[in-house]
Amino acid sequence: MDDLLQCIEDDLEGNLPPEQFSYDFPAIYASYFDDGDLDEKYIDAFDDISEACGWYEPNPLHREDDDEYIGEEELRNKVEEKYQTIKKLSTRST
C-alpha cells in the first residue's frame, strides 16, 4: 500500500503531473486489488480515486462533450478528500 500512498502524495505535492497520475494510480491499484493485498476498509476510497482518474480529461474542449469528465482541480479535490479518508482510517487501526 506504500506505493499507492506515495503516488497520491506525489500528485498532491505537485511532483507527478495529473496526466501521469491518472495512468499510474489505477495501474498500481489494480495490481494490489488483483492480488488481494489491500485491507478492505481502504477499498472504497481507493476505488473512488481510481474512478476519478478514469474521468480525468486534461483537454477542456473534450470535457465539453461529456459533463462527467473532470479537470485537474476536480481530480485533485477528489484525491485530497479520499487521501484524508485513508489517513483517518489508518490512524484508527493503529
User: Residue for cell digits 483537454?
Assistant: 59
Q: What is the pLDDT of residues 29-66, one digit of tens each?
A: 999 877 777 888 999 999 999 999 999 999 999 888 88
What's the pLDDT tens digit per position in 16-30? 999 999 999 999 999
CATH of domain 2-92: 1.20.120
Q: What is the pLDDT of residue 93?
A: 58
Q: Which pLDDT does position 67 carry in this prediction?
A: 87
Please name which of 42, 28, 55 lies closest in space to residue 82, comparing C-alpha atoms.
42
> Across the chain, how many H-helices and E-strands are there?
5, 0
> Residue 77 corresponds to which amino acid?
N
Question: Is-contact 78 52, C-beta < 8 A?
Answer: yes
Are 28 and 4 a contacting pair, CB within 8 Å?
yes
